[in-house]
Amino acid sequence: MTNQGLPSNGPALNSPTGIWGAAITIGFASATVMWMVAWLLHMPGVNVDSSIAVPILMVPLFVITMLWTRGIAPSNRLKAGAIGGFFTGLINLLILGSNIVVQPETTAEMSDQANTLAPNAAMVVIGSLILSIIVGLIASLAAGKNEAVSTVSTTTWRSRFAWITALTYLPLIAVGGAVTSTDSGLAVPDAVTTYGAISVLFPLKLMAEPRIFLEHSHRLFGTLVGITTLVLMIRVLMGESRKLPKILTVALFVAVAAQGYMGIIRVAEQSTFFAIVHGIFAQLVFAVALSTAIIISDKWTNADPSEETIAAAKRGRMIILIMVVTLVVQLCLGAVTRHLNSGHAMMAHMGFAFITMLIVIMGGAMCMRTGKAHPSGKSIRPYGAILHGLVVLQFALGFAVLGMAWEGDDAPALPTSEDLAQAAPIESTAMITTVHHLVGALVLAAAVGALVWVIRLANKPKIR
């Protein structure tokens, strides 16, 4: 018995196409982690010196390449490591650009100096690419010469890339939450460029202003998400035989493009409405990205639920669907509360939190029950524990926000780029509201993931 529509393994891993798929996955995975580390190292007040930051940033590339090339035949490891390092360096040029331009003292000087490359720009770019390739080669050598215990298939590399794509949404949502929590949404006057500079060429020196750093880095992470989602779509359209993953990746890319457009309109028109919709839609798109990764995965494709699992999944899918709808309603109430500083919205958001928590606990319990019915349903079981843990944390964070960070109807207007010098300093409580925002996104994504799994487990695979 075989499942209808199972994806073919595509090109063999020892073929050029197969090696490139593995290398691209390694490259994007390494770059994504490096971006997150770089963000932490260059935060205002931290700003680690390059002599220290560069070796730290090479660690994710080395570790990921060393671990993942072990799933490749020894004869192809060096090639995969070198190509993976090249793609890592190529993606990192998007953030390296802030270092290879002339560094003006103030934003007022940007009209004359925007997009002006420093004299050593070419050397820095070439050196960065070479360094990434060398680290990739060394890491693949460190993987050893032993045969792979289990050679990773092309479908698994594609699945890993889908999970990496979903991972890139997390820093975007986290930094986006920080932008809202710190009133940084209007810190950059232009909607597409940054003070006249192409976003990837905005000078690092000017990011010392915290609100500019947050708003600009949010845009950079959006660029990373857009590129990664585009590559995922291309890989799925070229390599998948199933229609559902193709439809989902195309829809995901369109959604990301729409989200970027809404971000532009929000800044260009200083629109609170688009700020609310932009915040809500971001979490929905993340949930779709996670669901896409689940559906592309080998576990989802090869699931063969027993009669016990099917019966349990059918009993649980309605409450899990209600859980997802409830979380979307709570998300909308939270977005209105954050952007309008409305006491009425806060009361509704707080009151509905009790209902939401109860339903999420019930939905998580149904995940666990379905997973326990038979070993064939075990894939959904972790979602129950994840949902329970996250919703309790989110509930506690909500009350922390209410007690420590809520300003109510008296909250000041967002400072624009012209007001940054006189703007109030960022409060430490912004961290709490940002974490509350991020955990909320994780709860919704986990709930949608559980819904995807319960639908899958409620249906017997077709026989072809």
Q: Choose the final residue of a domain: 228, 263, 288.
A: 288
Same domain for 168 and 131? yes
For residue 461, the model assigns a pLDDT of 65
Do 5 and 95 fall within a single domain? yes
Which tens digit of pLDDT belongs to each residue from 235-267?
999 999 999 999 999 999 999 999 999 999 999
> Same domain, yes or no, for 355 and 434?
yes
Residues in the chain: 464
Are the CB atoms for 300 and 456 separated by under 8 Å?
yes
Residue 297 lies in a domain: no
Q: Are residues 266 and 360 in the same domain?
A: no
Angle at 166 between CA 443 and CA 350, to 5 degrees: 20
447 occurs within a structural domain: yes
Among residues of the chain, what percentage have pLDDT more than 90?
A: 74
Could you tell me which of 342, 352, 340, 335 has the C-alpha nearest to residue 433?
A: 335
User: Which residue in 50, 39, 48, 136 sits closest to 89, CA to CA?
Assistant: 136
The CATH number for 447's domain is 1.20.120
Residues 121, 187 share a domain: yes
Q: Do 336 and 283 share a domain, yes or no?
A: no
Q: DSSP assignment, residue 250?
A: H
Contact between residue 229 and residue 198 where contact means Cβ atoms under 8 Å apart: no
Give domain status of residue 4, yes or no.
yes
Q: Mean pLDDT across the stretch 367-375? A: 95
> Is the domain of 276 the same as that of 317?
no
25 inside domain: yes
List strand residue ranges (DSSP E) for 217-328, in order. Answer: none
Amino acid 402: pLDDT: 85
Cα separation of 132 and 148, whole Å?
Answer: 24
Both 438 and 351 in a single domain? yes
Compute the distance between CA of residue 80 and CA of residue 46 in angstroms, rounded to an integer: 35
Counting the structural domains of the chain, the total is 2
Which DSSP category does 374 fall into? -
**Parent domain of 444:** 303-409+428-464
Helix (H) or strand (E) holding 262: helix 243-268
Residue-averaged pLDDT of the chain: 90
Terminal-to-terminal C-alpha distance of the chain: 8
